[in-house]
Amino acid sequence: MIHIQNTLPKKPELLAPGGDIEKLKTAVEYGADAVYVGGEGFNLRMGAPDITLEEINEATTWIHNRGKKIYITLNIFARNYHIRSIRPYLEKLAEIPVDAVIISDPGIFFMVREIAPHIPIHLSTQANTTNGKSVEFWYQQGIQRIILARELTLGEIQEITENSRAETEVFIHGAMCMSYSGRCLLSSFMTNRHANLGDCSHACRWQYTLKEEKRPNETYPIVEDESGTFILSSRDLCMIQHIPELVRAGITAWKIEGRMKSQYYAAVVTRIYREALDRYFADPDNYIYDERWLSELEKVSHREYGTGFFFGNQGYNSQTTHPGNSYIKEYDYLGTVHNVLSEDTAEVLVKNRISGNTSVEIMGKRLNEDFSQVLMDIRNEQNEPIETANAGQKVLVKVSRPVRKYFMLRKYG
C-alpha cells in the first residue's frame, strides 16, 4: 500500500514594520525575515518617521548582509502633484537593491514599471483584492505579490492561495480599520486629514454621543454607558492562537502592522510570532500553543484583541471595542541595551524615565532569555552614580545575568 503524505506548506515569511533605522534593525534582531518601511511622502503613514533614500541604502546593505529583505511602501492614492514628484524619487530608488516596492495606485505602478522595471512590485491591501480573478489580473500585469484585503476569511484566503500564481500576504497582527481595507473618508471630512494619503486622524476611535435637533444642548450616549461609546472603533488583530490554521492556508508572508508603533512594540510582537512559527515547523504533529505568547502580546500598547474577519464576520461584539475601553498599556518601555561592557554591566539607551531601586524585566530576543531584577545601581556615562535617568540619556546599569545588544528593559505599571 502506498502511503501519501500530506505536504506541509512552505514556511511563511515573517514581515515586520520598520519605521526608522533603529526600529528596522530591532525587528530583524528579534526575528523578522523582512521589514517594510515608508518611502518619503508616498506611503500611508505620514505620522511615521519616513526613512530617507540615504537611510534606505544603508539599511538595505545592513539587511542583505543578514540574509533578510526590505520592502518600500509607496502606497498612497496619488494625486497629480504626487505623480510629478515621485519620478525623481523612483530614479534614485532604482539605484538601491531593495527587494520590492508596495503600491496601490495604478499610476504609481506604471511609473515603477517604467523607471525601475527590475524592482519587484507588491500590491497593497489598499487595493482591496478579494478574489482569485483579481489576483490573476494583477499577476498578469507584473505584480509579484498580492497583500490581500483584510476582510477575507481564512477559507477564502486558502482558496485564493492554492489557485494563484502570485505570492500572497496577509496581516496577522495589529490595528484594524473600520473602513474597507482602510479606504476611509471620515478623517478627511472631520479634520481635513486624508487617510488615503497617509494622514489619518483615527476619528473612528473618538467617543461619540447623539444629539437631537430640537435639544441641541442635550447629548445622549449611543450606548448607555458613562464612558460614551467606541461604536466605530475596531479591535486589534491577534492571530497568535491560530498558527496552524494560518500555516494551512499556504500564505507566502505574514505581516505585522505597526509602522507608527514603538521599537519596543516591534520587538515584542516579532519575537512572539517568530517563536510560534519556528515551533510549529520544528514539529507540526506535536505543536503546542504556549499561553505565555498571548501574555507577552498583552504587554504592548493595544486595543482589545480579536481575530478580525479570518473566521467570518462574527458581528458587532467581535469586531468593535467595548464602550470605555481604550488602549491597554500596562507595561512601560524603559530602554534598550545599546552596548555590553562586561558580563554584569550594560550601557542602556533610556526611552522613558528610569529610577534606581526599581524592579524591572529585562527582555531578551527569545522568551527563555527574559529575567527580572532590581536596578540597584544606575550611573551616567562618566560612571557617576545617579538617582534617575531621562529619555535620551545613556546610562550604565548592573545586570544579574548576561545580556546582549537590543535586549530591552520594561516595568509593570
DSSP category for residue 104: -
Residues 61 and 114 in one domain: yes
Average pLDDT over residues 102-120: 96
Residues 310 and 249 in one domain: yes
pLDDT value of position 395 = 97
What residue type is 211 in one-letter code?
A: K
* pTM exceeds 0.75, yes or no: yes
Contacts of 291 (CB under 8 A, 6+ apart): none
- 47-78 pLDDT, tens digit per residue, is 555 689 999 999 999 999 999 999 999 988 88
Residues 306 and 401 in one domain: no
Grid cell in block for residue 83: 505623480
Residues 347 and 310 in one domain: no
Phi, psi at 89, each rounded to 5°: -65, -45
Cα–Cα dist 377/397, whole Å: 6
Bridge partners, 102 (sequence order): 73, 122
pLDDT value of position 1 = 35
Residue 383: count of CB within 10 angstroms of its CB: 8
In a domain? residue 215: no
Residues 82 and 102 in one domain: yes
- Using the structure block, give the residue that is written with the C-alpha cell 467617543: 207
Residues 296 and 339 in one domain: no
- 272-323 pLDDT, tens digit per residue, is 999 999 999 999 999 999 999 999 999 998 888 999 889 987 654 555 555 4
Bridge partners, 320 (sequence order): 234
Grid cell in block for residue 66: 543578514
pLDDT value of position 192 = 64
- 364-400 pLDDT, tens digit per residue, is 999 999 999 999 889 999 999 999 999 999 999 999 9
Residues 315 and 340 in one domain: no
Alpha helices (H) in 130-185, listed in sequence order: 132-141, 154-162
What residue type is 381 in one-letter code?
A: E
SS3 state at 377 = coil
- Using the structure block, give the residue that is written with the C-alpha cell 486589534: 236
- In this predicted structure, the answer to whether residue 353 has a pLDDT above a threshold of 60 is yes
CB 104 within 8 A of CB 223: no
Q: Which helix (H) or strand (E) holds 406?
A: none
- 210-267 pLDDT, tens digit per residue, is 676 777 776 655 554 443 344 556 789 999 999 999 999 999 999 999 888 899 999 9
In a domain? residue 125: yes
- Using the structure block, give the residue that is written with the C-alpha cell 506611503: 43
Grid cell in block for residue 130: 478579494
In a domain? residue 93: yes
pLDDT value of position 253 = 98
Residue 11: count of CB within 10 angstroms of its CB: 12
Residues 296 and 349 in one domain: no
- 124-153 pLDDT, tens digit per residue, is 998 999 999 999 999 999 999 999 999 899
Residues 43 and 92 in one domain: yes
What residue type is 134 in one-letter code?
A: S
pLDDT value of position 2 = 38
- Supply the angle between the helices 21-29 and 53-64 in degrees, to the nearest 10: 20
Cα–Cα dist 221/212, whole Å: 12
Nearest to 59 by CA among 103, 30, 22, 90: 22
SS3 state at 69 = strand
Length of the chain: 413
In a domain? residue 197: no
Cα–Cα dist 10/251, whole Å: 9
178-183: long-range contacts, CB 8 A cutoff, minimum separation 24: 178/204, 178/232, 178/233, 178/234, 178/320, 179/204, 180/128, 180/149, 180/151, 181/125, 181/126, 181/127, 181/128, 181/149, 181/150, 181/151, 182/44, 182/125, 182/126, 182/150, 183/126, 183/128
- In this predicted structure, the answer to whether residue 334 has a pLDDT above a threshold of 90 is yes
pLDDT value of position 16 = 98
Residue 343: count of CB within 10 angstroms of its CB: 10
Answer with the one of 319, 350, 371 that is the final residue of a domain.
319
First to last CA, the chain: 61
Domain tally, the chain? 2
- In this predicted structure, the answer to whether residue 405 has a pLDDT above a threshold of 90 is yes
- 146-182 pLDDT, tens digit per residue, is 999 998 999 999 999 999 999 999 999 998 776 655 5
Residues 269 and 296 in one domain: yes
DSSP category for residue 127: G
Residues 242 and 390 in one domain: no
In a domain? residue 286: yes
Strands (E), 175-251: 209-212, 215-221, 236-238
CATH number at residue 133: 3.20.20.70
> Residue 337's domain spans which residues?
331-412
Alpha-carbon 63 to chain mean position: 18
Nearest to 375 by CA among 360, 387, 388: 360
pLDDT value of position 4 = 38
- In this predicted structure, the answer to whether residue 40 has a pLDDT above a threshold of 70 is yes
- 191-217 pLDDT, tens digit per residue, is 666 555 556 666 666 666 667 677 777
Residues 154 and 27 in one domain: yes
Residue 168: count of CB within 10 angstroms of its CB: 22
